[in-house]
Amino acid sequence: MAIEGIKERIIQAAAAEFLQKGSGGARMQVIADKAGINKALLHYHFQTKQRLYETVLRQQFSKLIDSLFEQLEKETDFDTWLQSLIRKYLREIMTAPGLSRFVLWELNSGAKVLPQLFKKCLADKGHDPSFILTTINRRLQEEGLGNIDPVHFLLNLLALCIYPVIAKPILEQILGSGYFKAGDFIASREEEIFKLLKQGIYRQNEEDK
């Protein structure tokens, strides 16, 4: 089998193992067994478990990171810009629920890999980490919302998109899966997040005047 084919099998097997047990609990022998290769060949392609974990995270998150940066940079009116951010982020998370689990594993392990991955993606595009908050702040300023803290804006956006995915398996068992039919739920969730964010920041802006 071609080298790239072997590497892809390893990455797929490792992703399943890391999702289930995290980087700390995953075992290279188990990953090798799932990939159908011996452990020596696994170490030949990925010398350490940490290197393999970083490769898996990069593959899992690179598309999401690229698309988010693309949305941030779009020069559209504020409502369209905000709706596009919510839509892109929520749909990526909802259609790839493993992303939220990786985030949780990262948080539990001290979040050492994902921040570096984001920084590298930013650097590859010629930006430093301040680019995210600078862009958000510029859009808020242009909308007359200069008193809104871009950090809280970003945290609210992330929380409103990520938490429903984390809570969904529990709520499905309590409320029934009918409340979370994929297409209907994602579309209604997009609209709800947009209304909460927009109404919240405009109300705060008025109260602060």
Long-range Cβ pairs for the range 71-75 (8 Å, 24+): 72/132, 72/135, 72/136, 73/135
Res 207: pLDDT? 66
Give how far the C-alpha of residue 77 lies from the chain's centroid of Cα atoms, to the nearest Å.
Answer: 24
Mark whether 166 and 117 lie in a shared domain: yes
29 and 70 part of one domain: no
The more confidently predicted of residues 209 and 129 is: 129
Q: Residue 151's pLDDT band (boundaries 50, 70, 90)?
A: very high
**25 and 109 share a domain?**
no
Closest CA to 87 of 167, 202, 200, 191: 191
The length of the chain, given as a count of residues:
209
**Res 168 pLDDT > 80:** no
Residue 141: the pLDDT is 92
Q: Is 2 left (phi over 0), alpha (psi -120 to 50) or beta?
A: beta
- Higher per-residue pLDDT: 124 or 85: 85
Q: Are residues 141 and 78 in the same domain?
A: yes
Q: Is 127 found in the same domain as 96?
A: yes
Whether 83 and 26 map to the same domain: the answer is no
The whole domain housing 81 covers 60-208
How many structural domains is the chain composed of? 2
* Residue at 54 is within a domain: no
- Separation of first and last alpha carbons in the chain: 66
Q: Is residue 55 part of a domain?
A: no
For residue range 23-81, list pLDDT tens digits in order: 888 898 999 988 888 888 898 888 888 889 888 888 888 777 787 888 888 889 999 99
Q: Is 52 contained in some domain?
A: no
Give tens-digit pLDDT for 175-186: 887 777 766 778
